[in-house]
Structure 1
Amino acid sequence: MFLGIDIGTGSIKILLMNRSGEIQAVHSQTYRCSTPQRGHAEMDPEIWWQSLKMVLQQVPQDLKDQVEAVGFSGQMHGLVLTRADGTAAHPAVLWLDQRSTAELQDYPEDAAERLLNPLSVGMLGPSLLWMVKHRLEAVEQADFAFLPKDHLRYRMGGDACTDPSDSTGTLLAKPDGNWNMGLIHALGLPERLFPEVRPSAAVGGHLSEWAAQELGLPAGIPLAVGAGDTPCAALGSGLLQAGQTQLTTGSGAQLVTLTSSKPNFDPALNAYRATSDHWYVMAAMQNAGVALEWVRSSLSLDWTEAYDLAFQQETSVVFLPHLIGERTPLMDPKARGAWLNLEPGTSRGELMRAALEGVAFSIRNGLEALQKSHEVKHLRLAGGGSGDSRWQQLLADVLQVPLNPVSALHSSGKGAAMLAAAALGHPFERWIKQEDTPEVIPRGDVYQHKFEKFREAHERLKGWFF
């Protein structure tokens, strides 16, 4: 039995998979990040630990006793300053944090091209720079600058290490995944904080006696290093062939194209190392589930009501979903959300419909940026936020490419479990089942006019955001 742990932005999920690749159990626990002031997004790592204990308590002990190895999937880019004893010296600074805008100016002029990534707030590098300037005491107390999954693995008894998929997303690593010590020194960051980089499927330590008692798992089992949630989702859903592109919707939305050659720099796209012979190019939109969940909650709807009301009628309302700034293609941390074209009779259903359309338009912006350098004839569709068939059709109509919804659920957790198996030498390719649902075909470019209004609205409001 292999255990996959997925540390998401809004929840932690665990998945148990047997040696035949069959999922035996899936459980999750939600939580909320803290916003102590505008532009800040933090999380007490103790919440991850207590949430992990809670979800594992839901798993029968006889299943937990069979676990042979643990793998990890984690929200990317965040910074967890961690002491040698596994405690955090400061709340984790998450990927959606906006505080480090000024720190981007500290990077050398050619840094983005050398890193193959545009300079963006919320990445570990700028966040650590901000901490050095404003929370130096916490930095001095810390022994490691971890990403979320690496902090949790270390607390479970693992080694101080990370993997290339996460290191290349920090704005502090070379395209091969190894730390760029020249840049780290140039920025004045403490070299001692950066852990070893190992392959995602390598053994990254073993479960300690203390953690085993806390979690109800066998002591001493291997802990795979793991990977970021985006590559784990790609692995778990079967994105293994170079040239394939997948749209994953969760808190954010990611368009991922797998490539077997080192990609060129694009100021609107991210490029991360996946394995020793694969990279992936990503258009990352920060506001998908983040925006939709805010709208649904603000309108006091459950998700069934939200979808039903949204698809009862069309609307002329336009929604900008950029609640926490935006990456691809805007690269604008100051972008904010807005509803436009409201009338006294505008209904909750229209507001929800406009929110779905706005997220879809934002994804189309990202797709067009990706299509400038990569041919995309169809998209695999994955993620917990993509299950409703009406939403799938809207996406296909807006994006103007056929969609192949991937039937495999819980793909990030499954990918983490597959890495756990790989750490013990089990070939996981045989567990990939290409069982896609029927293709969703666009019904003509019925949203072109409204999409143009969406883009025009952002341009007109850009100087107004503050």
Structure 2
Amino acid sequence: MTPTITVDIGTTSIKLCVFDGDGALVVSRRVATPTVGDGIGEVYDVAALLDAVRDFVADLEPPLRRAVQRIALAGVGESGGLVGADLSLRSPMILWHDQRGAALLRDLTPAQRERVYAVTGLPVNANYALSKVAWALAHAEGDTADALWLNVSEFVAALLTGRRWSEPSLASRTMALDLRERRPSREVCALLGVDPAIFPPLRPAALGVAMDPAIAHTWGLDEVTVHVAGHDHMVGGVGADLQPGEMLDSTGTTEGILTLVREPRTDAATAATKIAGGLACDGESFTLFASIPTGGSAFATVRTLLDRDEAEVRALIDRAHRAYLDGKIDLGRVPLVLPRFRGSPPPDKDANARGAIAGVGTDTTAVELVFGCFLGLARQFADVWTLFSADLDRVKVIGPAASNPLWLQLKADLLGAPVSAAGVDEIVSRGAQALAHGARRPWEDALPREIAPDPRRHRMLQDGVAATAARWEHLKAMPA
């Protein structure tokens, strides 16, 4: 491989890194993802986003900057906007969770919804790009005849190269791509009156485009190629060297569950689960993916609930973890926490859903509440995994959960499966570098820490799940 700048555009932050030719992390920076309001919701502040990338490059030591040969971009999968041939925005650059196109989906019949899943592998949902495309076309300022729909990372690549293209794993999150044909579906696009030509041609991550020489010169770079690595969770799968039979647990603000499959699963039974099918970053393999809206954001929720600072909450988590390992946690005293703090995962997928806590007594302690919160996260995680109907040899964990021993142990014990947690940061960015070079990064490079399930604790948790099953289902059934 060669020295590479990676840009991972996340929901709450942009991760900027430089890796050397051996794949070692040399420099990294995180900045808040810049957004602004547009009167409907929040959208990307694309000028500020590009400034953040340019500032990072400008702050590199000149020898390191001149050594860079590639820029690889990853990002959230359902964001995007209309981009003209002159690279001007013809619509806002819309965030992934934006619902402004939801009304356009309400009149689709059950048969049409089934057909969408059969073709695209995606359940009908306003998070996916197609309804945003239709909304953007209806509300665009000026002519859209030359406009193409680009994901936010694809747009940054276009600004750096002057070329517009789409990456396979990102294209498969538009709800417009025919998974088997690997091209936009005229049939599905017609349901919302969208011309499939609005979607640009596919280009795999390894096939880069030369950076505009004038921009490269201004930024102090030599000859550089720009690569769109793909959907951040899928790129994380590459960084984790995900294999068939394994599950990637990609934790950030949200939590993503990813596994590889040999053929797309678009049957009616899978459609009922509302888990998402897609293309892997190589454009050849297929994926099954589910997003759990509450992931790492639960930590901030616990801080707010308890009015504690970060260090205090971490101390409570450590105390809960020690008590759990020592057999001093009484599940009968632990509150039942349904952690839908940011919405519900499949099969409900209700953005308006909120969490609930049951079983709190006058003597409930902060440690018990914290334990209940992370047990609830693990339980919700296990519920979603059952939708995949897949064998599980190992769970690979990346992101914030990889440094949370309580969360990791609860997952291993509840699932009864070994968990392997990355010991280094920025697995998505590592995957982006590998994809830009058509290379493989062995999981051992991530210095993983192995967490084995404990049979006694597995039985204890399973008994606790059974004892509280009725209450758990009641909490999930509460109106949003």
TM-score range, shorter chain: 0.7 to 0.9
For residue 134 of structure 2, what is the amino acid of its counterpart?
A: L
Q: Give the direction of change, closer, same or farther, for the CA distance of 1:243–1:190 in structure 2 (3 Å limit).
A: same
Counterpart AA for 1:102: A
Q: Tell me which residue corresponds to 1:8.
A: 10
Q: Which residue of 1 aligns with 2:427?
A: 411
Residue 397 of structure 1 is matched in structure 2 by 413
348, 351, 373: which one aligns with 1:355: 373
Question: How far apart, CA to CA, are the structure 1 residues paired with 2:100 and 2:238?
Answer: 32
1:159-174 equivalences in 2 (<5 Å): 159-174=163-178
Give the Cα–Cα distance (whole angstroms) in 1 for the partners of residues 142 and 298 of structure 2: 32
How far 1:246 sits from its partner (Å)? 1.7
Secondary structure (helix, strand or coil) at the match of 2:378 reads helix
More off after superposition, 1-10 vs 403-412: 403-412
The question of whether the paired residues in 1 share the 8 Å contact of 2:263 and 2:286 is answered with yes
Instruction: Report matched runs for 1:79-90 at 5 Å.
Output: 79-90=80-91
The CA deviation at 1:117 is 1.8
Q: Displacement, 1:77?
A: 1.0
Structure 2: which 5+ runs fail to align? 321-328
Partner of 2:155: 151
TM-score (norm 2): 0.84
Give distance in 1, aligned partners of 2:399 and 2:475: 32
Residues 325-404 of structure 1 mapped to structure 2, 5 A cutoff: 325-343=343-361, 349-370=367-388, 372=389, 374-404=390-420
Please identify, of 171-180 and 380-389, the stretch whose mean Cα deviation from structure 2 is larger.
380-389
Distance 1:392 1:160, change over 3 A: same
- Alignment of 1:441 with 2:453, yes or no, is yes
Aligned AA (1:79): G
Shift of residue 180, structure 1, vs aligned partner: 1.3
Instruction: Find the residue that maps to 1:189 and give its secondary structure.
Output: coil
CA distance in 1, matches of 2:443, 2:67: 19
Give, in whole Å, the separation in 1 of the partners of 2:336 and 2:77.
30
Q: Counterpart amino acid of 1:316?
A: V
* Other-structure match for 1:279: 286
8 Å CA contact 1:21, 1:431 repeated in 2:
no
User: Is the contact made by 1:329 and 1:365 (CA closer than 8 Å) also made in structure 2?
Assistant: no
Provide the secondary structure at the position in 2 that maps to 1:413: helix
Picking from 120, 123, 126, the partner of 2:128 is 123
Aligned amino acid, residue 166 of structure 2: T
Aligned position for 1:235 = 238
Classify 1:159/1:361 alpha carbon distance in 2 versus 1 (closer, same or farther; 3 Å).
Answer: same
Displacement, 1:59? 2.7
Higher alpha-carbon deviation: 440-449 or 381-390: 440-449
AA aligned opposite 1:145: W
Contact 1:5 1:417 in 2 (8 A): no
Contact 1:254 1:283 in 2 (8 A): yes
Aligned to 1:91: 92
Deviation of the 1:73 alpha carbon: 1.1
Alpha carbons 2:169, 2:283 under 8 Å: kept: no
Aligned 8 A contact 2:246 2:393 in 1: no
Structure 1 counterpart of 2:257, from 255, 258, 261: 255
Q: Name the TM-score, length of structure 1 as normaliser.
A: 0.87
SS at match of 1:331: coil
Q: Residues 70, 32 of structure 1: CA spacing in aligned structure 2 closer, same or farther, 3 A cutoff?
A: closer
Deviations 1:324-366 (A, max 9, x none): 3233232333322233344566555554433323322221111
In structure 2, relative to structure 1, the CA distance for the partners of 1:455 and 1:56 (3 Å cut) is farther
Which residue of structure 1 aligns with residue 338 of structure 2? 320
**How far apart are the structure 2 equivalents of 1:305 and 1:94?**
33
2:83 maps to amino acid? T
Relative distance call for 1:343 and 1:137 in structure 2 (3 A) is farther
1:75 and 2:76 matched: yes
Which 10-residue stretch deviates more, 291-300 or 277-286? 291-300
CA distance in 2, matches of 1:226, 1:54: 21
Contact 2:378–2:407 (Cα < 8 Å) also in 1: no
Alignment length (residue pairs)? 454
Equivalent residue of 1:364, what SS?
helix
Q: 1:296 to 1:142 in 2, by over 3 A?
A: farther
Indicate if the aligned counterparts of 1:4 and 1:420 stay in contact, CA closer than 8 A: no
**Cα 1:343–1:236, aligned 2, differ >3 Å: closer, same or farther?**
same
When the two chains are superposed, the root-mean-square deviation of aligned CA atoms in Å is: 3.0
Q: Secondary structure at the match of 2:97?
A: coil
1:396 and 1:45 map into 2 onto residues whose CA distance is 40
CA distance in 2, matches of 1:429, 1:271: 24
AA aligned to 1:318 is L
2:215 to 192, 211, 225: 211
**Whole-Å separation in 2 of the counterparts to 1:227 and 1:336:** 30
Deviates more, 1:152-161 or 1:399-408: 399-408
Distance 1:438 1:324, change over 3 A: closer
**In structure 1, what is the equivalent of residue 437 of structure 2?**
421
| Residue pair 2:205, 2:436 contacting (<8 A) in 1 also | no
CA distance 1:262–1:113, change in 2 (3 Å): closer
Q: Compared with structure 1, are the counterparts of its residues 305 and 260 closer, same or farther at alpha carbon in structure 2 (3 Å cutoff)?
A: same
> How big is each residue's C-alpha offset from its partner over 1:207-246, in whole Å with a ceiling of 9 and x where there is no partner?
224533564433x41112321111111111222x333222
**Structure 1 pair 320–20 and aligned structure 2 pair: CA distance change class (3 A):** same
Question: C-alpha separation between the residues in 2 aligned to 1:63 and 1:100?
Answer: 44
Q: Within 5 Å, give how 1:262-273 maps onto structure 2.
A: 262-265=264-267, 266-267=270-271, 268=273, 269-273=275-279
Whole-angstrom distance in 2 between the partners of 1:288 and 1:454: 22
Q: Which stretch of the first structure deviates more once superposed, 302-311 or 109-118?
A: 302-311
CA distance in 2, matches of 1:191, 1:330: 29
* Structure 1 portions without partners, runs of 5+: none
Q: Does 1:223 align with 2:226?
A: yes
Task: Confirm or deny: 8 A CA contact 1:311 1:349 kept in the other structure.
Answer: no
Secondary structure of the equivalent of 1:444?
helix
- Cα offset, 1:143, TM superposition: 1.8
3-state DSSP of counterpart to 2:184 = coil
3-state DSSP class of the match of 1:28?
A: strand
**Cα distance 1:460–1:436, how it changes in 2: closer, same or farther (>3 A)?**
closer
In structure 1, what is the equivalent of residue 26 of structure 2? 24
> 1:257·1:281 contact (CA, 8 Å) conserved in 2?
yes
